[in-house]
Amino acid sequence: MEEMIRILLVDDEDSFRGTVSKRLSRRSIDVLTAADGREALELLDRDPVEVVVTDVKMPGMDGIELLRQIKENYPDIEVILLTGHVAASDGVEGIKGGAFDYLTKPVELEHLVSKIRQAGEKIRWRRDQRKEAEFRKRMEQQMMITERLAALGTMATGVAHEINNPLAIIRESAGWMRLILGKEEMAAVPRRSDLELALNKIEIGVERAKRITHQLLGFVQKDDALSAEVDLPMLIEESLGMVKREAVHKGIEIVRDIQPLEKPVYSDPYQIRQVLLNLITNAVHATGGGGRITVVLKSVQGGVLIQIRDTGEGIPPEHMRKIFEPFFTTKCPGKGTGLGLFVTRGIIDRLGGTIEAESRPGEGSVFTVTLPRRHEIRKNDIASELNTC
């Protein structure tokens, strides 16, 4: 069965249009007709075709001018010119102007059919090439993003590791200073309250830095990633428990749609807990009073699906691409690290799962995680690099 092709036949001779279109229709060619160039252009505006077959010699706009206008406005359409015997030079001019080919009248039907088919093949080939180029471009962009994220991740986790020790020293020293400052003999120290204020600031700063390193290192220190039977409903409850106070305070309703799992899941419960906590915390932060957070757990082909839905503020489309990048946050300075989703995605990738985000600004967001029923323990490259000495 030959592929259907749609053409426009333009000729000022009624009988020619009538007979040729009737005969072409019998050959899986869908034919529209026009009596002159102007009518042809009007038709193309409303009704796209793949190939135009046009007479060159027509009153008003001739075929060469029609070809020019088609190439200008519809570059994907292929044009076949029909020239008179004595005017074959028109055909040559047409080819220069971008025509697919020209045939001299009187036209032999088989010849015309074969030219139309060749033009159709050229169009389809060009379409395939374009699709392939687009696909390749998308893949390259995706790879660039993945590589960039991986590089950023390696750097960020390396920095976190290096900062952890000096941070512990600062924290310990601040505690020691506070202890000394609290002693009786220090009661008369000048500007004591200023010193206390400075210590407070140091401690708040250290806490914030610790949150950052904790997130990042939680993500890499699992060189010995576990693969144990995971009690997902319990982990969900635990994570909900950790945000309960804030949720109650904001008047957020928590809905559980937890279905019994068909088969147990073997994975790393500690890392899954961190994923759940990050996603549920984000949902609570994004949802205002009277909102709702729904946690779904169910079996799917090959594993489980966990979904955290909220009726919160949503994520604007221009942020969607960035939310998994490290340090991207819309929270006030000092409130969010912007590492939650980055770490979450890293964990899910390593556990062999997937994570997807969907959102409608003003309506809410949905984060969907899938985990395989059993995850292969993979040595954590970053962690092993960091732990070599």
Ligand X SMILES: Nc1ncnc2c1ncn2[C@@H]1O[C@H](COP(=O)(O)OP(=O)(O)OP(=O)(O)O)[C@@H](O)[C@H]1O
Applying CB under 5 A, the residues found at the interface with Mg ion are 282, 340
Q: Is 307 left (phi over 0), alpha (psi -120 to 50) or beta?
A: beta
Among 58, 82, 341, 386, binds ligand X (CB under 6 A): 341
- Residues 227/375, Cβ–Cβ less than 8 Å: yes
- Mind giving me the DSSP string for 62-83? -HHHHHHHHHHH-TT-EEEEEE
The three-state secondary structure class of 309 is: strand
The whole-angstrom separation of Cα 98 and Cα 122 is 13
Listed in sequence order, the DSSP H helices in the chain are: 14-25, 37-46, 63-73, 88-96, 109-181, 192-220, 232-250, 269-286, 317-320, 340-350, 381-386
Q: What tokens appear for 39 in the block?
A: 């009518």
Residues 6+ apart with CB under 8 A from 306: 232, 236, 276, 295, 296, 297, 368, 369, 370, 371
Q: Does 369 bind ligand X (CB under 6 A)?
A: no
- Look at residue 252 and give the partner it binds from Mg ion, ligand X, none, a contact being a CB closer than 5 to 8 Å depending on partner kind: none
Which of these ranges, 4-12, 26-34, 169-177, 278-286, lies near ligand X under the rule CB under 6 A?
278-286
Q: Does 355 bind ligand X (CB under 6 A)?
A: no
Among 69, 227, 307, 330, binds ligand X (CB under 6 A): 330
Which of these ranges, 1-9, 234-242, 323-331, 377-385, lies near ligand X under the rule CB under 6 A?
323-331
Which of these ranges, 21-29, 223-231, 239-247, 321-329, lies near ligand X under the rule CB under 6 A?
321-329
- Look at residue 329 and give the partner it binds from Mg ion, ligand X, none, a contact being a CB closer than 5 to 8 Å depending on partner kind: ligand X
Alpha carbon of residue 330 to chain centroid: 20
Q: Of 212, 306, 296, 315, which is closest to residue 265 (Cα–Cα)?
A: 306
Q: Does 218 bind ligand X (CB under 6 A)?
A: no
Which of these ranges, 51-59, 227-235, 249-257, 282-290, lies near ligand X under the rule CB under 6 A?
282-290
Which of these ranges, 115-123, 142-150, 158-166, 280-288, lies near ligand X under the rule CB under 6 A?
280-288
Amino acid (1-letter code) at residue 92: V
Among 16, 74, 270, 328, binds ligand X (CB under 6 A): 328
In the complex, least distance from residue 155 CB atom to ligand X, rounded to whole angstroms: 17
The whole-angstrom separation of Cα 64 and Cα 73 is 14
Q: Does 50 bind ligand X (CB under 6 A)?
A: no
Residue among 282 and 287 whose Cβ is closer to Mg ion? 282
Among 329, 352, 368, 372, binds ligand X (CB under 6 A): 329
In the complex, least distance from residue 167 CB atom to ligand X, rounded to whole angstroms: 17
The whole-angstrom separation of Cα 65 and Cα 81 is 11
Which of these ranges, 98-106, 150-158, 173-181, 322-330, lies near ligand X under the rule CB under 6 A?
322-330
Q: Does 5 bind ligand X (CB under 6 A)?
A: no
Q: Does 368 bind ligand X (CB under 6 A)?
A: no
Q: Of 298, 307, 242, which is closest to residue 265 (Cα–Cα)?
A: 298
In the complex, least distance from residue 294 CB atom to ligand X, rounded to whole angstroms: 12
Tokens 């995850």 -> residue:
375
- Look at residue 360 and give the partner it binds from ligand X, Mg ion, none, a contact being a CB closer than 5 to 8 Å depending on partner kind: none
The three-state secondary structure class of 105 is: coil
In the complex, least distance from residue 161 CB atom to ligand X, rounded to whole angstroms: 18
Among 313, 346, 351, 353, binds ligand X (CB under 6 A): 313
Residue among 84 and 336 whose Cβ is closer to Mg ion? 336
Among 54, 157, 282, 311, binds ligand X (CB under 6 A): 282
Burial zone of 49 (CB within 10 Å; 0-12 exposed, 13-18 middle, 19+ buried): buried
In the complex, least distance from residue 222 CB atom to Mg ion, rounded to whole angstroms: 19
Residues 6+ apart with CB under 8 A from 199: 174, 177, 178, 181
Among 77, 276, 339, 371, binds ligand X (CB under 6 A): 339
Amino acid (1-letter code) at residue 280: I
Binding site for ligand X (CB under 6 A): 278, 282-283, 286, 310, 312-315, 323, 328-331, 336-342, 365
